[in-house]
Structure 1
Amino acid sequence: MSIDPSSIPNFGSQPEPDQPSGGPTAGVVVPDQDLVKQLLDQMGLKHAVDEENDLLAPWEEFRTYFMFRGEAQQHVFAVRTFYERAYTVDEKPQLHEAIDEWNHLTLWPKVYTNTDDEGVVRLIGEAQMLVGMGVGLDHFVATTVSWVQASIEFNKWLGERLGLEETAGDDEPGESGGSDGTGEGSEGSEG
């Protein structure tokens, strides 16, 4: 299966009025890592597979993981973003106020804090959908693109909201390695 490049949403313009509906991407699929790689390639995003076999797209200030978990009908696709900026435990109340505002105003990613054993606080954003029974390819593509864009937007929004230095989150993904910034790997911060 392949992704029709015209199916990748351009949120800045309206679709062509004479564009036929349906077409080659109208089918139902059970997405997998190869499909997500193809989508990231078509979006022009650099990506790699980490030591836990999770697909990731690294930016300078965060990494976004594309993970599949569960089996059969309970198969879940999750997009989880680990933001690299470190905070102290004393800054946690200010962070909670900001992320509560974000979570209230937006659909995704839902953002939460993760505090490691040394007291370093980092933020994690996450969105997920059940895909085990299949999902429309157009819906999957549009949703995944939207989740990536929202992860980038959150990084910029938080920098503005907290009055932090200019963020580089809208640049091309970086060349950094496979760490997720928590020291725990992509699964270590699930709860």
Structure 2
Amino acid sequence: MGFFNKPTATPASALPPLSAERITACLDAREMRYGIDGDGDVGGYWDGHLFYFFRIGQDQEYLQVRGRWNRQVGLDELAAVSAKVNDWNADRLWPKVYVRVEDDRLGVYAEHTVDYEHGLTDEQLDVHLACGISTALSFFEALDEAYPEQAAAAKAAEAEQE
């Protein structure tokens, strides 16, 4: 059998599959606030940044924790933000971070994706969610240090909404 050929079927005692219900149960156990959008995607805000917990793939077997940095940074900062993103990716295993142009500003994202084709334990799910959120927040904090005015403006806007 070649390296890229799939091994034989998983035994009947396989781990339970990834599901939206398991994601929300994990968040509930940590007393985290979240919502479910019209597409059934689970998401919420952590430290003012929007996170989603996507199930992707043919059988929704991949779990992707995706966070978006909630700051307003203009297109003139593309080179500087891209350099910070590249430095982060070069020095760390996760999360994968990237920047994209969104109309007249930059969107900066962090993602941590794992394949759970063969199921996962509740502990694995909890670690994945916690890791995805906490490492993304570490990256977002590093960006806040580089853009303190934008961070302060975003935090002031959050305070007004509360």
TM-score normalized with structure 1 length: 0.66
d(CA) in 1 for partners of 2:127 and 2:15?
A: 14
The structure carrying a bigger helix percent of its residues is: 2
The alignment's C-alpha RMSD in Å is 2.7
Look up the match of 1:67: 54
Identity of aligned residues (%): 20
d(CA) in 2 for partners of 1:60 and 1:145?
A: 14
d(CA) in 2 for partners of 1:154 and 1:29?
A: 32
- The residue correspondences of 1:139-150 to structure 2 (distance < 5 A) are 139-150=124-135
Equivalent residue in structure 1 for 2:25, among 21, 33, 38: 38
CA drift of 1:75 comes to 2.1
Deviation string 1:123-167 (CA, Å, 9 cap, x unpaired) is 01111111122123322321221111112222112112x151495
Look up the match of 1:130: 115
Q: Is 1:71–1:132's contact at 8 Å kept on the other side of the alignment?
A: no
Is 1:52–2:39 an aligned residue pair?
A: yes
Q: Which amino acid aligns with 1:107?
A: L
Q: For residue 29 of structure 1, give the secondary structure of its aligned residue in structure 2.
A: coil
d(CA) in 1 for partners of 2:47 and 2:125?
A: 26
Look up the match of 1:16: none
Deviation string 1:28-68 (CA, Å, 9 cap, x unpaired) is 22121111111112222110011222100123531110011
Q: For residue 109 of structure 2, give the secondary structure of its aligned residue in structure 1.
A: strand
Structure 1 residue runs without a partner (length 5+):
1-26, 177-191
Q: Is 2:66–2:109's contact at 8 Å kept on the other side of the alignment?
A: yes
Look up the match of 2:65: 79
Q: For residue 68 of structure 1, give the secondary structure of its aligned residue in structure 2.
A: strand
Equivalenced residues, count: 143
Q: Is 2:15–2:118's contact at 8 Å kept on the other side of the alignment?
A: no
d(CA) in 1 for partners of 2:46 and 2:133?
A: 11
With 100-109 and 121-130 compared, the bigger mean Cα shift is at 100-109
TM-score normalized with structure 2 length: 0.76
CA drift of 1:69 comes to 1.5
Structure ranking higher on relative contact order (CA contacts 8 Å, 6+ apart): 1
Is 1:121–2:121 an aligned residue pair?
A: no
Equivalent residue in structure 1 for 2:144, among 159, 178, 181: 159
d(CA) in 1 for partners of 2:122 and 2:29?
A: 15
Structure 2 residue runs without a partner (length 5+):
1-13
